[in-house]
Structures are given as C-alpha cells and as structure tokens.
Amino acid sequence: MNGYECLNGCFDNGIEIKSIADHRYTGIRKCCSEDTGTKIVSQKHIVPIIAFTRFNRQTARITYRWVESTVASTATTAQIPATKPSY
C-alpha cells in the first residue's frame, strides 16, 4: 500500500474488503503500511473490494487464492467480543 494515510477508521482513504457473507455490512478497512501482508478468509466466494480516497492518489496490490471448500483452512481466526451500542 503506497500513499495511504494511516488513521483509525481509514476515513480519508483505504481499501474495504467485504469478507463476510452479508455484504450490507461494512467490511474490513485497510489503510496502514502495517496492513501489508494481512490474510483475510472470506465466508463466501464473492468478496467485494472497494478502494476509496478523498484527496491523493494511492496504489495497492491485492493477491488472492481460491481454495476449494473441501480443503481444510490453515488460517487462524479470533472472535472479537460483541459490545452493546452506545447512543
């Protein structure tokens, strides 16, 4: 990722990856150089990838791998505890 401004929430620029089955929800946003090399495992075979910017020009390289559903996943996942919404 080149030219991205690293801010919490990636409001000004970034890449959003909708890896969960329901694409109506906000996906994972990446905008920091530390995000390079991050692995994401999707729930379904269609994964929208949205690049956005407000100010500058950015470049990013995305690589992907298709794995048949009969192959066991080698990825590790962590469950983030849910929090109650605050209004």
Residue 37 sits in which domain range?
1-67
83 within a domain of the structure (yes/no): no
Task: Report yes or no on 29 lying in a domain.
Answer: yes
pLDDT tens by residue, 1-12: 777 878 888 888
Q: Which residues contact 74 (CB under 8 A, 6 or more apart)?
A: none
Among 83, 82, 48, 45, which residue's Cα sits nearest to residue 65? 45
Q: Give the count of domains, the chain.
A: 1
Do residues 16 and 27 touch, judged by C-beta distance below 8 A? yes
77 located within any domain: no
Residue 84 resides in a domain: no
Instruction: Establish if 3 belongs to a structural domain.
Output: yes
45-58 pLDDT, tens per residue?
Answer: 889 999 998 887 88
β-pair partners for 49: 17
Q: Does a structural domain hold residue 74? A: no
50, 15 Cβ separation under 8 angstroms: yes
pTM: predicted TM-score of the whole model, two decimal places: 0.69
Residue that is written with structure tokens 């794995």 in the block: 67
- Euclidean distance between CA atoms 53 and 4, whole angstroms: 9
Residue 47 in domain = yes
Mean pLDDT, residues 8-27 taken together: 89
